[in-house]
Amino acid sequence: MRRVFGVKKDKPPAVTVDDAAENINKRGDVLTEKIKKLDAELLVFKKQLASAKSPQAKLAIQNRAMRVLKLKKQYEGQRDNLYDQAFNLEQVAFATQGMKDSMQTMEAMKAANKELKGQYKHLKIEDVERMQDDMMDLMDYSTEVQEALGRSYSVPDDIDEDELLGELEALEADMDAEVEGSSVPSYLAPEPEVELPSAPIGVPAGPSGSGSIAVQQPQAADELGLPRVPQASVRT
């Protein structure tokens, strides 16, 4: 059967835009290398023309240089054409990739839109507003509870603020009058010191009826502060 109908050949894979652009760039690089070699030959011809003396030699060198120069121009045109084709392919590849990205973005947005619609079915704006109103009521109730808990039991509610202000002004007037009368209040002034009589030292009590009192002279002390012992007189 294979001999009659033959074998089905597999089709080669389709060439992508990136592969085509890469092949064209490689061909352009090959032409660039050839142009560099021709430039080197032209440089040699230029040196030969500078050193040639006879007109026939110069003419021969010029003819060879003209052929190399024409070939260089031909290679440059082919290279530029290839690079233009590669540039166009790169632009096509960029546009193709941009279209793929746009399609993926569109698919993602469709999926997100579908998901949001499913979620919004369970979330209504009326429920949100009702919840906000309930929260405001709860906050007001909490404020009232805090004010009730912070109320003082010892201060009556019907106290007159004008009366309190009058008492405060009277208290300030009393304090100003006390400061003007004395720089220091009486209850802060120090008590006066009481001087006690000093007792006489070394004065013995004299007999009654005596008109004079004998005063004892203080005894001399040595270098240690002790009273000196009187020395006995030595008889000769």
The Cα–Cα gap between 34 and 27 comes to: 11
Structure tokens at 58: 């110069």
For 169-195, the pLDDT digits (tens) are: 888 787 777 666 555 555 555 666 655
Residue ranges per structural domain of the chain: 13-110
3-state secondary structure of 84: helix
Q: Which CATH code fits 13-110?
A: 1.10.287
The Cα–Cα gap between 36 and 166 comes to: 110
Site of tokens 């004079």: 212
For 124-165, the pLDDT digits (tens) are: 888 889 999 999 999 999 999 988 887 766 656 666 677 778
For 49-66, the pLDDT digits (tens) are: 888 888 888 888 889 889
Per-residue model confidence (pLDDT) at position 212: 46
The Cα–Cα gap between 41 and 47 comes to: 10
H or E stretch including 226? none
pTM, two decimals, is 0.42
CB 24 within 8 A of CB 85: yes
Q: At what angle do helices 55-120 and 17-51 cross, to 10 degrees?
A: 160
CB 38 within 8 A of CB 75: yes
Site of tokens 């003082």: 152
The Cα–Cα gap between 182 and 189 comes to: 10
Could you tell me the pLDDT band of residue 234, with boundaries at 50, 70 and 90?
very low
